[in-house]
């Protein structure tokens, strides 16, 4: 029997009693409602093949094309490989919402652990709906209707950014033609209607209203609200663990405390829709 156990009062739930390679419509309906309610759902002992992971992700919507920077499973390009190997440690981590440099960032992601170091390598998620709710009321009013610019610059200088023989970086080459996009600072969840603070450290470049900083409102100040541990959940990976998160109302952070010990996870991403502003006054 399917069991759903919340991780805390704010975000995250562990779901057991289900086989993610074979479930009925009723079970998926329960799983999907938990996804919307808890924002990130976790499973243990789900040893998904690339085919099974793609099939599971497709239940949530149309799949994204292969990621432009991440390596992928050779036979399944929509399955990205997030891997650390000896001599190739992870780079610096940033709190981020996946791919907000797109006009329509992803709806959700399905991440499955293949192999892990003996310890370390947790991932932390934060509810950006709870972060928004924690803002002082005057700040909410000042942010209403504002936009911020997001861009792919967050990959520059990362381990995915090699320089070719012509001196051009890989990120610069791939990102030619990828124009920066503007998203509402306060976005409305397309299914629940809840407001979320829609910025992140890796891909949000600036607030578009030049007057807003004169009022003491900066991105760094807003980022700090997401560092509140009471609004977060920290997940300890095990081989076969799966996490599915709502990319429309969360950020996450990879804890890189394991050096270059081997670690590999497979990720599949589901397409989303352009974020819409939340109307504070209706």
Question: Is 252 annotated as catalytic?
Answer: yes
Question: Is 221 annotated as catalytic?
Answer: no
Contact in structure between 68 and 174 (CB atoms under 8 Å): yes
**Residues 6+ positions from 67 with CB-CB distance below 8 Å:** 80, 99, 269
Question: Is 267 annotated as catalytic?
Answer: yes
**Residues 6+ positions from 184 with CB-CB distance below 8 Å:** 145, 146, 147, 198, 275, 276, 277, 278
Q: Tell me which of 98, 150, 183, 246 is the catalytic residue.
A: 98
Q: Tell me which of 183, 189, 194, 252 is the catalytic residue.
A: 252
Q: Tell me which of 67, 96, 248, 266 is the catalytic residue.
A: 96
The token pair at 1 is 């029997």
Question: Is 25 annotated as catalytic?
Answer: no
Q: Distances from the Cα of 161 to the Cαs of 17, 170, 213, in angstroms?
A: 42, 5, 32
Q: Tell me which of 67, 150, 266, 267 is the catalytic residue.
A: 267
Q: Quick one: 52 exposed, middle or buried, by C-beta within 10 A (0-12, 13-18, 19+)?
A: middle
Q: Catalytic site residues?
A: 96, 98, 252, 267
């Amino acid at each position: 029997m399917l069991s759903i156990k919340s991780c805390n009062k704010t975000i995250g739930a562990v779901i057991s009693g289900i086989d993610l390679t074979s479930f009925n419509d009723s079970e998926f309906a329960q799983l999907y409602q938990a996804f919307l309610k808890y924002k990130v759902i976790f499973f243990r002992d789900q040893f998904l093949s690339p085919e099974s992971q793609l099939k599971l992700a497709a239940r949530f919507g149309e799949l994204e094309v292969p990621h432009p920077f991440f390596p992928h499973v050779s036979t399944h390009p929509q399955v990205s490989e997030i891997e650390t190997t000896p001599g190739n440690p992870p780079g610096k981590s940033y709190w981020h919402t996946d791919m907000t440099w797109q006009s329509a960032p992803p709806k959700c992601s399905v991440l499955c652990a293949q192999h892990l170091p003996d310890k370390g390598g947790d991932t932390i998620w934060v509810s950006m709906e709870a972060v928004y709710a924690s803002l002082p009321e005057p700040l909410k009013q000042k942010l209403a209707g504002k936009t911020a610019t997001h861009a792919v610059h967050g990959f520059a200088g990362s381990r995915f950014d090699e320089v070719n023989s012509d001196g051009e970086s890989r990120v610069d080459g791939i990102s030619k033609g990828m124009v920066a996009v503007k998203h509402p600072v306060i976005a409305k969840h397309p299914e629940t209607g809840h407001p979320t603070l829609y910025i992140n450290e890796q891909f949000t470049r600036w607030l578009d209203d030049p007057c807003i900083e004169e009022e003491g409102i900066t991105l760094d100040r807003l980022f700090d609200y997401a560092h509140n541990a009471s609004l977060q959940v920290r997940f300890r990976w095990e081989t076969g663990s799966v996490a599915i998160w709502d990319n429309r109302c969360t950020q996450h952070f990879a804890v890189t405390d394991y050096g270059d010990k081997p670690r590999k996870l497979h990720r599949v991403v589901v397409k989303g829709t352009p974020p819409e502003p939340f109307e504070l006054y209706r």
